[in-house]
């Protein structure tokens, strides 16, 4: 960080010694190269991240066992299976205000 700050201060002193037209031209040229470098670094970083992350997600491991004592449980699979859903029992009341 110190080196970047010193380089920026040196560049600002250099621009101050130039005329306004020359300083604007220098700022445009340096800004283009800084922007292009950071953009290329971002693309390379995104590509490396994408490349290293493929294959890390495991395949489906089978039936997900979740227990729910209050209603239908279709999370993760979208399928109602087994004893998770007691269809023959009435829905439990939460309070007396439901009447």
Is the pTM value of this prediction over 0.95?
no
In a domain, 71, yes or no: no
In a domain, 34, yes or no: yes
- Structural domain of 48: 2-52
20-37 pLDDT, tens per residue? 888 889 889 999 999 999
| Structural domain total, the chain | 1
In a domain, 21, yes or no: yes
38-55 pLDDT, tens per residue? 999 999 999 998 887 766
DSSP the chain: -HHHHHHHHHHHHHHHHS-HHHHHHHHHHHHHHHHHHHHHHHHHHHHHHHHHHTT-SPPP-S------SSS---TTT----GGG--TTSPPPPS-GGG-
């Amino acid at each position: 960080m110190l080196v970047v700050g010193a380089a920026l201060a040196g560049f600002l002193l250099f621009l101050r010694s130039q005329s306004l037209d020359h300083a604007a031209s220098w700022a445009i040229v340096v800004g283009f190269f800084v922007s292009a470098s950071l953009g290329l670094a971002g693309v390379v970083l995104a590509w490396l991240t994408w490349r290293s992350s493929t294959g890390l997600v495991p395949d489906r491991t089978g039936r997900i066992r979740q227990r729910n004592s209050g209603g239908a449980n279709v999370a993760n699979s979208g399928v109602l299976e087994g004893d998770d859903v007691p269809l023959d029992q009435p829905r439990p009341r939460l309070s007396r205000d439901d009447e």
